[in-house]
Amino acid sequence: MSDKRILPAFLLCLFFGVFGAHRFYVGKIGTGILWLCTVGGFGIGWAIDLILIACGAFKDKQGRPITRW
């Protein structure tokens, strides 16, 4: 289980997800930069991440699911 929480990740994704803020929060720096350069994976990646975070299926840098609110 990850030490990161769902609520901050969800809020970062909802409001700043097109800039990759939620990916920087969970330690995924490389894809965070990619999201920053492509405006959230052209909006598609941002929407997918938002759904994954809400369902509890989003994972941190070490591959551990973020499950705690």
Q: How many CB atoms lie within 10 A of CB 53?
A: 23
pLDDT of residue 52: 97
pLDDT of residue 1: 87
Q: Using the predicted structure, report yes or no on whether residue 9 has a pLDDT greater than 90.
A: yes
Regarding predicted confidence, which is higher, 38 or 1? 38
Helical pair 6-16 and 44-55, crossing angle rounded to 10 deg: 160
- This prediction has a pTM of 0.93
For 15-41, what is each residue's pLDDT tens digit?
999 999 999 999 999 999 999 999 999
Tell me the three state secondary structure of residue 65: strand
The rounded Cα 13 to chain-centroid distance in angstroms is 6
